């Protein structure tokens, strides 16, 4: 992964949480990571698998739409729940990603 730890255990222990401000993917141009990248990495961490070994996110949700909905300059309070890789994922407009395996 090569970046700082991004996923933190929460209560209950079967949930995993990551905050986008802790994420700094190397391929990010403007220093603000996409939520779709954070989701894939959080699910990989929750399942203890390499994120590249997961099925494509677009099989569960449109990554471009997810990123557009949760862009950093968006002024909204939104959360989205969807299933990805046998996990329930909740993405919030504050950048929080919850993963329930």
Higher pLDDT, 40 or 20: 40
What confidence tens digit (pLDDT) does each residue in 2-17 have? 332 334 333 233 445 5
Please indicate, yes or no, if residue 40 is contained in any of the structural domains: yes
Report how many domains make up the chain.
1
Please indicate, yes or no, if residue 84 is contained in any of the structural domains: yes
**pLDDT greater than 90 at residue 30:** no
pTM, two decimal places:
0.69
How far apart CA 85 and CA 29 sit, in angstroms, is: 27
How far apart CA 88 and CA 100 sit, in angstroms, is: 5
Please indicate, yes or no, if residue 3 is contained in any of the structural domains: no
Backbone torsions φ then ψ of 21, nearest 5 degrees: -65, -20
Q: Which residues pair with 56 in a beta bridge?
A: none
Please indicate, yes or no, if residue 54 is contained in any of the structural domains: yes
Please indicate, yes or no, if residue 1 is contained in any of the structural domains: no
51: its two tokens: 């994120």
What confidence tens digit (pLDDT) does each residue in 36-52 have? 999 999 999 999 999 99
Antiparallel, parallel or unpaired: β 8-9 and 16-19: antiparallel
Please indicate, yes or no, if residue 48 is contained in any of the structural domains: yes
Please indicate, yes or no, if residue 36 is contained in any of the structural domains: yes
Its domain, for residue 90, covers: 8-100
């Amino acid at each position: 992964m090569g970046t700082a730890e991004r996923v933190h255990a929460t209560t209950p222990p079967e949930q995993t949480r990551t905050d986008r401000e802790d994420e700094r993917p190397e391929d990010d141009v403007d220093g603000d990571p996409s939520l779709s990248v954070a989701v894939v990495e959080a699910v990989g961490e929750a399942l203890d698998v390499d994120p590249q070994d997961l099925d494509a996110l677009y099989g569960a949700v449109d990554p471009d739409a997810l990123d557009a909905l949760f862009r950093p300059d968006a002024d909204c309070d939104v959360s989205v729940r969807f299933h990805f890789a046998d996990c329930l994922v909740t993405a919030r407009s504050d950048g929080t990603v919850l993963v329930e395996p």
